[in-house]
Amino acid sequence: MAFTTEVEFDQAYASVRAAFTSGRTKSKDWRRHQLKRAWWMVEDNKSRILDALRADLNKHPLEAMLGELTGLQNDILRTLDKLDEWTKDEKPTRWDPINFLGGTVVRQEPLGVSLIIGAWNFPFMLTLQPLVAAIAAGCAVVLKPSEVAQASQDLLMEIIPKYLDRDAIQCISAGPLEMKHILETRQDCVYCCCQTFDTGHFGIGSQGPAIVAPSADIDLAAKHVAWAKFMNAGQVCINVNHVLIDPRIREAFVTRLIHYFDEFTGGRENQPDYCSRIINERNFDRLESLLDRTSGKVIYGGIRNRQTRYFGPTIVVDVNPDDSLLSEELFGPILPIIDADLDAAISFTRSNEHPLALYAFTNVESEKTRIQNETVSGGVTFNDCILHAAALDAPFGGVGNSGIGSYHGKYGILAFSHLRTYANAIPTWIEGVMGARYPPYSDANMRKLSPPVKAPFDREGNDITSRSKVLSTAATLAVLGFSVWMFGAREKLPPYAKNWLRK
């Protein structure tokens, strides 16, 4: 499929901008209708989606359903069920006079026209899940699937205009050259889950470690790590990039790791049809180059076939910190193993960019606490892999170099929203008290509006226990009550204030 031309993109952008300006995407009815249509888009085209994933990555239907479709459809249903709750107005504390008398509310409003740039490793989940969040937030969307996963891109280009609002949601195709023009166009929000374009929200990947301590269940740790590296041929942004393991248990761990790789593949000389393939020759060659340049020792390596893009799981030990395998995110089925006790593992992790995911295998609570307190990452899973990214209603995202912001559930809606504060003028009958704000300024007026502020702690940071806090609170309530009753008449209060007083 040919890429969208500049003229075609400009037309698509103008349509989406006009749709958002009209205000129709803010309607809850519009949002719900589009989300329902999106659910049926996936349902009606499920077999075609599976075929596209097979063509692009050789994904087995089990991996495709688990990693792409089931979670996506459940996310749509969850969003529909919780839409009102996740988008309702918030009322700041009513103990503040401005909030109480002015009826202050904080409203979630859509950021506007959102550009969503999909990723090729999960071309449906990582393209459509942010679309669900953008729709739920009330945004209009320009959607750009990854051109690297061509079959998936072509299918999305076909089905999205058939199911979704063609004016407010436009699907385009583009490569690196075309993206220059697209990114020069004003966008109110950019979502990107890839390393090429990292100017927007969310995770873009990193070198995520797995720390294995002596207290870990070695067999289960090896099984979980082997599964993570096997999934999608290691092409997962939250995969285990390398293992940091205590030297005392390295041999036992590697033995079990080899056992599970053999079990999962049917042996290192096998090329199972259910194993995903490397996305293209360029990435295949990149992985081979990294492996050729390693100073570590390859102790397990299966078949590598450039023609079919099959790259068997590979274990490399005796890897140094400056090794080629640690020079970039691997994004493949190569597993470097580094000898490191817990202190060294934490130190090594802290010396690198913050990872999108960190995995730690230990059954000692104090070690878990150290890892939590002494490292930084987008998320953490203890004694397993990837689970934190699948947690219901929990945020998923990166930090620092591994991404900006988070999404999933209500956090996705927030990512595509602006929190807008609304306040009403306070009632005119209290203007006499507020008149002190007007010029000419005086010390007397300053004392009325800015009375002395006293802290409940001393200069050393020690809390002060006295009656002052109680008296201060009582005085504040007394002044508020006096203002309400002395100036006028309860009947002059706005309706929301009257209702509050009746409670």
Per residue in 154-183, pLDDT (tens digit) is 999 999 999 999 999 999 999 999 999 999
- Token pair 């990582």: residue: 126
Q: What values do phi and psi take at 209, rounded to 5? A: -90, 160
Average pLDDT for runs of 10 along the chain of length 503: 92 97 97 98 98 98 97 98 97 90 94 97 97 98 97 98 98 94 93 56 71 98 98 97 98 98 95 96 97 97 93 97 95 97 98 96 98 97 97 93 90 96 87 83 86 89 71 59 52 55 46
Mean pLDDT of the chain: 91
pLDDT for residue 194:
63
Q: For residue 116, what are the contacts with CB-CB under 8 A and spacing of at least 6?
A: 127, 130, 131, 134, 141, 142, 143, 144, 191, 192
Residue 309, Ramachandran bin (φ over 0: left; ψ between -120 and 50: alpha; else beta): left
End-to-end, the C-alpha distance of the chain in Å comes to: 64
CA atoms within 13 A on the CB side of 10: 5
Q: Where are the alpha helices (DSSP H) in 45-124?
A: 46-57, 61-64, 70-87, 97-102
pLDDT for residue 387:
96
Q: For residue 467, what are the contacts with CB-CB under 8 A and spacing of at least 6?
A: none
Closest CA to 71 of 129, 147, 154: 129
pLDDT for residue 482:
54
**Global pTM value:** 0.89
Residue extents of the structural domains in the chain:
6-202+411-420, 209-400
Please count the other Cβ atoms lying within 10 Å of the Cβ belonging to residue 22.
12
Out of 3.40.309.10, 3.30.470.10, 3.40.50.970, 3.40.50.720, which CATH number does the structure's domain 209-400 have? Answer: 3.40.309.10
Strand partners, 143: 116, 171
pLDDT for residue 487:
46
CA distance 372 to 376: 8
The domain defined by 6-202+411-420 folds into Aldehyde Dehydrogenase; Chain A, domain 1 (3.40.605)
Q: What values do phi and psi take at 31, rounded to 5? A: -60, -45
78-to-73, 357, 391, 395, 470 alpha-carbon distances in Å: 9, 25, 13, 15, 45
Residue 112 and residue 189 in contact, taking contact as beta carbons nearer than 8 Å = yes
